[in-house]
């Protein structure tokens, strides 16, 4: 078997062509990357959608807390009502307050739906971008994030589990024998 | 089962709504002496000021979690026998086992009802 060794003149001729081809590919890739970055609409996300999500979720927390307080105040007031005439009317009045407070669920549901829609859009755009640029995750993470994860792991801050995975109170009682 | 309704109880939770729910349930059960703290650090300070008959604590709080509070309580010569019930959404089996190893007396998963709270208090404090 013999290997064809290019003559010096051929190398000199092919090299610029190869470099030009490579540079063209890089230029095309950069143009493609710019298109994909543009399609992410990152400014719209950081200027409008993410602040909106913060605001909506903040409102949900406030509305939920407000409604819970109203309901609890009405329930506590009912518990301390004296027996006797007027008891039923007083209970009915507070029950109506509870019904009114429960209207928060409709409004918070709509607010959460807006946030979910933004997250869905964000996920869609990010997935398209990751696919288009064949992005790979960096091996290292932010030190603050690492510290947060380490603390959560040490102190077992797992949070509530997803529905269906939650052990019942009976399962837990069994662990205590 | 006889319960000492005059014993002071410390409720530890960073959510005031949950504190209020537990307070109301305890009131329904007849307990009047209920204090509260919003995290483990505050709870530990209260425990050093007053002798409590029971601690009912959440797990996930800042800066000191309920799990850390439990370990502090069990490591303290003066507090180590204080009955301790964890009331938490941290429902993974590994959490329950870790709390048991650390010396928790009982464990309630949120959301819970009055009957569960009552039965656990009776199991831990009933004579």
Q: Do A156 and B93 touch (CB under 8 A)?
A: no
Q: How far is CA A92 from CA A68, A72, A80, A95, A102, in A?
A: 18, 15, 14, 5, 15
Total number of domains constituting chain B? 1
ipTM for the assembly: 0.82
Determine what percent of chain A is predicted with pLDDT higher than 90. Answer: 48
Closest CB to A156 among B94, B100, B109: B94
Per-residue pLDDT of chain B (127 residues; tens, 9 = 90+): 678 899 999 999 999 889 999 999 999 889 999 999 999 999 999 999 999 999 999 999 999 999 999 999 999 999 999 999 999 888 888 899 999 999 999 999 988 888 899 999 999 997 6
Chain A interface includes B127 (CB < 8 A): no
Q: What is the extent of the structural domain holding B69?
A: 16-21+35-53+65-89+101-112
pLDDT in tens, A71-102: 999 999 999 999 999 999 999 999 999 999 99
Whether the CB of A110 is below 8 Å from some CB of chain B: the reply is no
What is the nearest CA distance from A161 to chain B, expressed in angstroms?
A: 7
**Confidence grade of residue A1 (pLDDT, cut at 50, 70, 90):** very low
Q: Which residues of A touch B85 (CB under 8 A)?
A: none
Cβ atoms of B54 and B33 within 8 Å: the answer is no
The pLDDT, as a whole number, for residue A143 is: 87
The answer to whether residue A7 scores a pLDDT higher than 70 is: no
Q: Is residue B80 part of a domain?
A: yes
How far from the centroid of its chain's Cα atoms is residue A24's Cα? 38
Q: Give the pLDDT score at A116.
A: 95
Output the pLDDT for position B46: 97
| Average pLDDT score, chain A | 87
Could you tell me the two tokens for A15?
């090299």
Q: Is B109 close to A166, i.e. CB distance below 8 A?
A: yes
- Residue B85 placed within a domain: yes
CB within 8 Å: A167 and B96: yes
For residue B90, which residues of chain A lie inside 8 Å, CB to CB?
156-160
Query: Has residue B121 been placed in a domain?
Result: no
Q: Give DSSP secondary structure letters for B53-91.
A: SEEEE-S--SSS-HHHHHHHHHHSTTTTTS-EEEEES--
Q: Given an 8 Å threshold on Cβ–Cβ distance, is B90 in contact with A172? A: no
**B104 close to A173: Cβ distance less than 8 angstroms:** no
When comparing pLDDT for A97 and A141, which is higher? A97
- Helices (H), ranges, A45-168: 50-79, 87-101, 104-133, 143-154
Range 31-90 of B in CB contact (< 8 A) with A: 59-60, 65, 67-68, 89-90
Residue B81 lies in a domain: yes
Note whether residue B76 is domain-resident.
yes
Hey, are the CB atoms on B92 and A158 less than 8 Å from each other?
yes
Q: Looking at the complex, does the CB of residue A80 fall below 8 Å from at least one CB of chain B?
A: no
Whether B44 maps to a domain, the answer reads yes
Closest CA–CA distance from residue B48 to any residue of chain A (Å): 23
Q: Do B90 and A75 touch (CB under 8 A)?
A: no
- pLDDT, tens digit, 9 for 90 and up, residues A38-75: 988 888 888 999 999 999 999 999 999 999 999 999 99
Kindly state whether B116 is in contact with chain A, defined as any CB-CB distance less than 8 angstroms: yes
User: Å from A155 to nearest chain B CA?
Assistant: 7
pTM over 0.90: no
In a domain, B8, yes or no: no
B92 is written with which tokens? 């993974």
Residues 6+ apart with CB under 8 A from B120: B85, B106, B108
CATH classification of the domain holding B71: 3.40.50.2300
pLDDT of A5: 58
Give the H/E segment covering residue B107.
Answer: strand B106-109
Of A135-139, A142-146, B14-18, B52-56, the least confident: A135-139
CA distance B9 to chain A (A): 20
């Amino acid at each position: 078997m013999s290997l064809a060794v290019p003559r010096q003149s051929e190398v000199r001729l092919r090299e610029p062509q190869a470099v030009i081809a490579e540079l063209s590919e890089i230029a095309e890739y950069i143009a493609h990357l710019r298109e994909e970055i543009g399609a992410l609409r990152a400014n719209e996300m950081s200027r409008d959608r993410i602040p909106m999500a913060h605001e909506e979720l903040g409102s949900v927390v406030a509305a939920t807390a407000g409604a819970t307080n109203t309901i609890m105040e009405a329930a506590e007031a009912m518990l301390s009502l004296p027996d006797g005439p007027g008891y039923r009317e007083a209970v009915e009045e507070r029950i109506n307050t509870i019904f009114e407070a429960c209207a928060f669920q409709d409004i918070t549901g709509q607010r959460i739906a807006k946030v979910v829609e933004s997250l869905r859009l964000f996920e869609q755009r990010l997935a398209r971008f990751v696919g288009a640029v064949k992005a790979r995750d960096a091996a290292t993470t932010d030190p603050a994030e690492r510290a947060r994860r380490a603390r959560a792991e040490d102190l077992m801050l797992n949070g509530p589990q997803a529905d269906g995975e939650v052990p019942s109170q009976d399962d837990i009682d069994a662990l205590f024998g | 089962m006889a319960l000492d309704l005059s014993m002071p109880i410390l409720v530890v939770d960073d959510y005031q709504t949950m504190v209020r729910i537990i307070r109301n349930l305890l009131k329904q059960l007849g307990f009047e002496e209920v204090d509260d703290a919003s995290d483990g650090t505050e709870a530990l300070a209260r425990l050093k000021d007053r002798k409590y008959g029971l601690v009912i604590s959440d797990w996930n709080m800042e800066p000191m979690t309920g799990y850390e509070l439990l370990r502090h309580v069990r490591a303290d010569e003066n507090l180590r026998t204080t009955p301790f019930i964890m009331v938490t959404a941290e429902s993974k089996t590994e959490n329950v086992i870790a709390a048991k190893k650390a010396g928790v007396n009982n464990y309630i998963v949120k959301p819970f009802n009055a009957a569960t709270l009552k039965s656990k208090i009776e199991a831990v404090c009933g004579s």
